[in-house]
Structure 1
Amino acid sequence: MISIIFLVFFFGLLIGMPIAIAIGLGAVTAFWVEGAFPIAQVPHKMVNGVYSFPLVAVPLFILAGSLAGETSIAVRLVRLASALVGHIRGGLGHVNVASSMFFGGISGSAVADTAAVGSLMIPAMEKQGYSRADAGAITISSSTIGILIPPSIPMVLYGVTVGSSIGALFLAGIVPGLLVGLLLMVSVYVMAKRKGWPQSEQRAPASELWEAFKGAILSLLLPVFLLGAIVTGLTTATEAGVIGVLYALFLAGVVYREYTWRQLFTITVESAINTAVPLFVVATTSVVAWVVAIEQFPAALVGFFNDLDIGPVFVLLIMNLFLLMIGMFIDLVPAIILFGPILLPVAAVSGMDPIQFGAMMVVNLGVGLITPPVGNCLYVGAAVAKVSIWRLVRATLPFLTVNVIVLMLVTYVPAVTLWLPSLFF
Structure 2
Amino acid sequence: MTRIRRLHPAWSVAAVAFVALVGAAGFRATPSVLLHPLHAEFGWPLATISVAVSVNLLLFGLTAPFAAALMDRFGIRRVVAVALTLVAAGSGLTVFMRTSAELILCWGVLVGLGTGSMALAFVATVTGRWFVRRRGLVTGVLTAGGAAGQLVFLPLLATLVEAYGWRSAALVVAGAALAVVPLVGWLLRDHPADLGLPPYGATEVAPAPAPQGGAAARALRTLRDAARTRAFWLLAGGFAICGASTNGLVGTHFIPAAHDHGMAETTAAGLLALVGLFDIVGTIASGWLTDRVDSRLLLGAYYALRGGSLLVLPGLFADAAGPSLLVFVVFYGLDWVATVPPTVALCREYFGPAGAVVFGWVFAAHQIGAAVAATGAGLVRDRLGEYTIAWYAAGLLCLGAALFSVLLRRGAVRTPPLSVERPAAVGRVHP
Under a length normalisation based on structure 1, what TM-score does the superposition of the two structures give? 0.32
Q: TM-score by structure 2 length?
A: 0.32
